[in-house]
Amino acid sequence: MENPLKQLPLLAMVILVAAMILITGTLVSIGRGHFNFQNYVYGLTYTVACAFWVGLILAVSYNFIARLRRAHYYLFFTGLILVGTALGTQTASLIIHKRLYAGPRITAFSVVVSLGLAILAIANEHLRESLSKRVAGLKESEIERKILERSEAEARTSSLHTRLDPQFLVNTLDNVAALMRQAPERAEQNITKLSNLYERALSMNNQSLLSLGDELALLEDYFQLEAQRLGERFRFVIDCPAELREARVPAFLLEPLVENSIKHGSSGGTLNVGVKVWREEKHLFVRVADDGRGFDQKRTPFGLGLFGIQQRLDLIYKDAYRFEIESEVGKGTSVTLRLPVDS
């Protein structure tokens, strides 16, 4: 804990000391029945003596009281100031009057001023800490906002609408080329679906949250193109009640999960991928599951795609979401998201 006296502005300290000198000199003058310069010299002596003892005691004992709990710290801090003031008052009396008792007026005044100084220092410390916490909170919120914006930008950059040369696009175009002579109508349908897919993705480019219906529509186009390429080896199903399609979810949240299922789940045989959405009380559940080859969760770390999804969910929902992965070698993988319904 930092010494509260060090937090007082220099100008405030100068004004406080000057006021103490003037007021002390005035009280001495009232007590003696007349005003003169000597009385204000007395006020200066009392002020300097009190400041010396207070500063000395705090300098010697501060390392000890700074380790105390906050309530005990302020109690000891105030007590030490009062002790230093008492010693300073008697010291000034000894210097000026050659006796150790300063009189009731000077003693009472010194105690009141010391209490005021202690309260001022404590109040200043509380205000400084409060402002520091607010500034730190604002900085943290700003950092989280920038991380979220960058994460969303990366999510959009890695999504379908800017993938000009991934394996998905290459495979789809290869499939279209193979169909041009054998089934030109199917080839034309695939080109239309691919165009619709990218057009839909581009329309979502600047959206952080979108409706679950739009997200599933994007997956529908993606699934159909993959089904055209993989043929009978691939089957998919999307199960989502109509009343849940208006729920808002982060843009491009499910596409990386589906892509992982198709890319890493296929083992050369039949692959089934399903997207299921349901609601339980105030939570929306979304599960992407496949019956592919699976993996050992203890040996295989998160990929960048899954890590990026979890990072975005952390920033958007804090602790109000769940992200669970279950996988078994040879039996498949499922990823379940639990999100707030009113998101």
- Say which residue the tokens 């054998």 belong to: 182
What three-state secondary structure class fits 61?
helix
Question: 118 phi and psi, to 5 degrees?
Answer: -65, -45
Specify the pTM: 0.52
pLDDT per 10-residue tile (average), the chain, 343 residues: 53 69 68 69 74 76 75 77 79 78 69 70 70 74 69 53 54 76 78 75 67 88 83 89 91 84 76 93 92 77 68 82 88 91 64
Give me the pLDDT at residue 140, please. 74
Cα–Cα dist 275/190, whole Å: 22
DSSP 94: H
Amino acid at 172: T
Give me the pLDDT at residue 182, please. 78
Give me the pLDDT at residue 160, please. 44
Cα–Cα dist 28/22, whole Å: 10
Specify whether the CB–CB gap between 152 and 174 falls below 8 A.
Answer: no
Domain 158-340 has CATH 3.20.20.70: no
Cα–Cα dist 223/275, whole Å: 11
Residues 6 or more apart in contact with residue 297 via CB below 8 angstroms: 325, 327
Domain range summary for the chain, segments of one domain joined by +: 4-141, 158-340
Cα–Cα dist 252/209, whole Å: 9
Kind plus residue range of the DSSP H or E element containing 108: helix 104-157
The residues that bridge with 211 in the sheet, in sequence order, are 248
- Say which residue the tokens 């200043």 belong to: 124
